[in-house]
Amino acid sequence: MESVKSQSYEVHIGELAEAALNQHIAKSGYSKIFVLVDENTKEHCLPFFKKIFDGSVDFILEIQSGEENKHIHTCLQLWEDLSNLDGDRKSLLINLGGGVLTDMGGFVASTFKRGIDFINIPTTLLSMVDASIGGKTGVDLGSLKNQIGVINQPQMVLIFPDFLKTLDPRQVKSGYAEMLKHGLIKDKAYWSSLTEKSNFTDASCIQKSIAIKNEVVLQDPTEKGLRKILNFGHTLGHAIESYCLDNHDKKTLLHGEAIAAGMILEGYLSHELQGLSKLSLDEIKKTFLTHFDKVDFTDDDIDAILQLLKYDKKNSHGNVNFVLLHSIGKAVTDIKVPEELFQKAFAYYKE
Amino acid sequence: MESVKSQSYEVHIGELAEAALNQHIAKSGYSKIFVLVDENTKEHCLPFFKKIFDGSVDFILEIQSGEENKHIHTCLQLWEDLSNLDGDRKSLLINLGGGVLTDMGGFVASTFKRGIDFINIPTTLLSMVDASIGGKTGVDLGSLKNQIGVINQPQMVLIFPDFLKTLDPRQVKSGYAEMLKHGLIKDKAYWSSLTEKSNFTDASCIQKSIAIKNEVVLQDPTEKGLRKILNFGHTLGHAIESYCLDNHDKKTLLHGEAIAAGMILEGYLSHELQGLSKLSLDEIKKTFLTHFDKVDFTDDDIDAILQLLKYDKKNSHGNVNFVLLHSIGKAVTDIKVPEELFQKAFAYYKE
């Protein structure tokens, strides 16, 4: 499996990852090696890591899994741990976990003594194809996601697809939604091959998704232009995700489940405003509904979700700019959407 | 007064600073402008700033002055303020204060929504010639200084020497010690002119010190080599500063006062180990003791300070590497010092 080259680091997949890790450690002369885990990766991934790692781990740092722990107080605990265990500027932090853990571990490493090296080993499909690529690190501020952070690149990203076998299939599906998104915004052939495959977790699919995200991020690391296309499905998807999270009578959706709905809705907007064909729109809807349960939106739900969207507006100068599709594989950014179309989009989703 | 060009920003002094600020604001299109002050700069510096600033300040953020407030909880308050006041990625933070405020404000700006623009307006001599240049931002972790932070450059640094008139003369002297250090490590002529001048706070001296620090920092932004020379006087100076801070029966020393003693002591080590002439050594001692009271070190004090130095050792792989002088204007880094010389250095200081 070919490695994907980023600006300052490489993403190694499968059999190459083990060799890349051990070569890097052998030549780097780190003073101490810390591995960050949560209770799940400690049980399911750390034994594998220890088996393939030729170096010696000095300390295991453990945090509680879950978005609700992704805040500055967890960082403070980790900074204190690093300091109390004599971590210095030549120390290395290896982040072994999903997106919450790699985002937070990356931020802690980027700010401890003004920056120590870190390596990301994502253990969920979502973090393999999304969170671990692009250098975004950070934590939440209250209920606002990723408000505190920096953009800083890891030394390398290592992907072991075998970790996916330890996961709940629903979690794996959540990552699949992001992979389908990569096809929709950038590569029609990849979209087609993904929708036809029975096993989307093989190394070649993961590698392709990473390559697409990496290509976008390299051209626009700070999200001034092109990188925005990665937000396809996320504008409405985030509002849906937040709404379901805050309403205890709604089933909580995983990120991928929420953006799957978001992509159908924003696909409809693309059809209305950017000439996405009805055929392609129907194909998008059918594909997502094959893999993800249809969410049952009442009229009240829809009103509340659109209110959330307006609240988001306030935070970005009174405009919501959508990423829409011109066709499958071709995205356009900064499209304003007339309000009356939102109800029609939900009507199409419910059809 | 000429402006000093750094890699990505400029330092403007005196009459040019006002114009540079207003031009930058006029062309940048910031969504909101926040100014960070403490209770001192709110009273003594903010009125002047408002007078010269053509733009409109949206919000004033206020923190308590003092190193004891330089920690992550103050940052959390500032992040929440920025968020609650609808700060977005196009917002600007102007830091109006001394080194504690510009270090902390720079860190908050560098991490809010993964980085917004900031401008430093240092208001003490120490922060003008030292803290505001070089992009080090951060906060303390418990009693350990600057453990959490990033290296990130402001949009510009603006120096208004008039602010110094509002300061206690002892505070101003503290900055003078750093200026003398710049001469000692890099420029004999500057050292000589500074020691002869009656007024070291004029714009040309400040400008020269900034230029020296900037030249060093540009060549080695992440302190892998040359930048270490800025630590001359600081290895023993920091130990002395910490010791006096923690012992209530000792008079607390300002940073400049502690490193003034540190430079005499490390000057002695330079004479013993690096061939600094006795004449130069005596000149260094005489200069500092003309401006800074001699610290009364008992034998117990010296033992405790050397213990602190050994504790520091532990944090850097068991070695303390000193920056010493080969001659006035020429520094050498990474010099190990035999323990028996420390007592002799203190004996020379007390002579």
Q: Helix (H, G, I), strand (E, B), or coil: what is residue B77?
A: helix
Tokens in use for B69?
């407030």
Identity of the residue in B72, B115, B150 whose CB atom sits nearest the CB atom of A72 = B72
Contact A79 B150 (CB under 8 A): no
Spatial contact of A222 and A179, defined as CB atoms under 8 Å apart: no
The ipTM, to two decimals, is 0.89
- What integer is the mean pLDDT of B71-82? 97
Per residue in A200-256, pLDDT (tens digit) is 888 899 999 999 999 999 888 878 889 999 999 999 999 999 899 888 888 889 999
Residue B297: per-residue pLDDT: 95
Contact A148 B315 (CB under 8 A): no
Per residue in A161-181, pLDDT (tens digit) is 999 998 999 999 999 999 999
- What integer is the mean pLDDT of B148-153? 94
Angle among Cα A301, A304, A308 to the nearest 5 degrees reads 135
Mean pLDDT lowest among A182-191, B4-13, B127-136, B226-235: B4-13
Q: What's the rounded Cα separation, in Å, for the pair A20 and A25?
A: 9
Q: Residue B100 — very low, low, confident or very high, per pLDDT cuts 50/70/90?
A: very high
pLDDT exceeding 90 applies to what percent of chain B? 79
Interface with A, mutate which of B147, B223, B313, B315 (most A CBs under 10 A): B147
* B111 touches A: beta carbon within 8 Å: yes
Q: What's the rounded Cα separation, in Å, for the pair B112 and B108?
A: 6
The domain made up of B4-167 is a member of CATH 3.20.20.10: no
Secondary structure percentages of chain B, helix, strand, coil, to 5: 55, 15, 30
Q: What's the rounded Cα separation, in Å, for the pair B87 and B281?
A: 53
Residue A236: per-residue pLDDT: 95
Q: What's the rounded Cα separation, in Å, for the pair B94 and B52?
A: 14
**Cβ contacts of B149 within 8 Å, gap of 6 or more:** A111, A113, A114, B103, B107, B136, B137, B138, B139
Residue B312: per-residue pLDDT: 61
Per residue in B196-208, pLDDT (tens digit) is 987 888 889 999 9
Strands laid side by side in the A4-5 sheet: A4-5, A10-13, A156-159, A117-122, A92-97, A33-38, A59-63
Residue A314: per-residue pLDDT: 43
Residue B7: per-residue pLDDT: 61
> In chain A, what residues touch B114 (CB-CB under 8 Å)?
136, 138, 146, 149-151
Residue B55: per-residue pLDDT: 92
Identity of the residue in B79, B115, B151 whose CB atom sits nearest the CB atom of A115 = B151
Residue of B nearest to A86 (CA): B315
Residue of A nearest to B71 (CA): A76
Q: Can you spell out the DSSP letters for B197-254?
A: -S-TTSHHHHHHHHHHHHHHHHH-TT-SSGGGGGGTTHHHHHHHHHHHHH-TTSPPPP
Residue A311: per-residue pLDDT: 67
Measured in angstroms, the CA of B328 and the nearest CA of chain A are apart by 31
* Mean pLDDT score of chain B: 92
Domain A170-350, what fold? Dehydroquinate synthase-like, alpha domain (1.20.1090)
Residue A312: per-residue pLDDT: 61
- What integer is the mean pLDDT of B154-175? 93
Domain boundaries along the sequence of chain B: 4-167, 170-350
* A134 touches B: beta carbon within 8 Å: no
* A333 touches B: beta carbon within 8 Å: no
Angle among Cα A67, A41, A203 to the nearest 5 degrees reads 100
Spatial contact of A146 and B89, defined as CB atoms under 8 Å apart: no
Pick out chain A residues at pLDDT < 50.
Answer: 313-315
Tell me how crowded residue B39 is: count the other CB atoms within 10 A of its CB.
Answer: 12
* A151 touches B: beta carbon within 8 Å: yes
Burial class (CB in 10 A: 0-12, 13-18, 19+), B347: exposed
* Residue B61 per-residue DSSP state: E
Residue A260's alpha-carbon distances to A254, A264, B104, in angstroms, are 10, 7, 41
Residue A236's alpha-carbon distances to A143, A277, A288, A301, A309, in angstroms, are 17, 21, 15, 13, 7
Residue of B nearest to A108 (CA): B148
Residue A145: per-residue pLDDT: 84
Residue A2: per-residue pLDDT: 66
Residue of B nearest to A221 (CA): B114
Interface with A, mutate which of B110, B148, B320 (most A CBs under 10 A): B148
Mean pLDDT lowest among A237-251, A289-303, B231-245, B304-318: B304-318
Residue of A nearest to B313 (CA): A86
Q: What's the rounded Cα separation, in Å, for the pair B7 and B11?
A: 11
- What integer is the mean pLDDT of B316-338? 87
Per residue in B36-71, pLDDT (tens digit) is 999 999 999 999 999 999 999 999 999 999 988 999
